[in-house]
Chains A and B, each alone.
Chain A
Amino acid sequence: MLVLTRRINEKIIIGDEIEIVLVDIGKDQVKIGINAPKNIKVHRREVYEEIQRENRLAAKTKSLDALKSLPQEILKNLEKKSK
Chain B
Amino acid sequence: MKIQTSRFGEIEINKEDIVEFPEGLLGFERARRFIVLNTQDGGPFRWLQSTEIPDLAFVVIEPLQFMFSYDLEISDSDVAFLGVKAAEDVLLYGIVTIPENPRDMTANLQGPLVINIKSRKARQIVSANSSHSLKTGIISEMEKRAQKLKESQATQASQASQASQAPQVPETPQAAPKASKAPESPKAPQATPKKGGKG
B121 within 8 A of partner (CB): no
A27 within 8 A of partner (CB): no
Contact of B97 among A58, A77, A82 (CB under 8 A): A58
Q: Is the CB of B42 within 8 A of A79?
A: yes
Main secondary structure of the interface of B (DSSP, over half): mixed
Main secondary structure of the interface of A (DSSP, over half): helix
CA distance A66 to B98 in the complex (A): 8
Q: Is the CB of A58 within 8 A of B108?
A: yes
B84 within 8 A of partner (CB): no
B72 within 8 A of partner (CB): no
Please give, as numbers and ranges, the residues of chain A lying within 8 Å of B108 by CB-CB distance.
Answer: 51, 54-55, 58
A2 within 8 A of partner (CB): no
Please give the distance in Å from B5's CB to the nearest CB on chain A: 11
Please give, as numbers and ranges, the residues of chain A lying within 8 Å of B45 by CB-CB distance.
Answer: 64, 78
CA distance A55 to B120 in the complex (A): 21
- With A54-B97, A54-B108, A82-B65 known to touch, is A59 a contact of B57 (CB < 8 Å)? yes
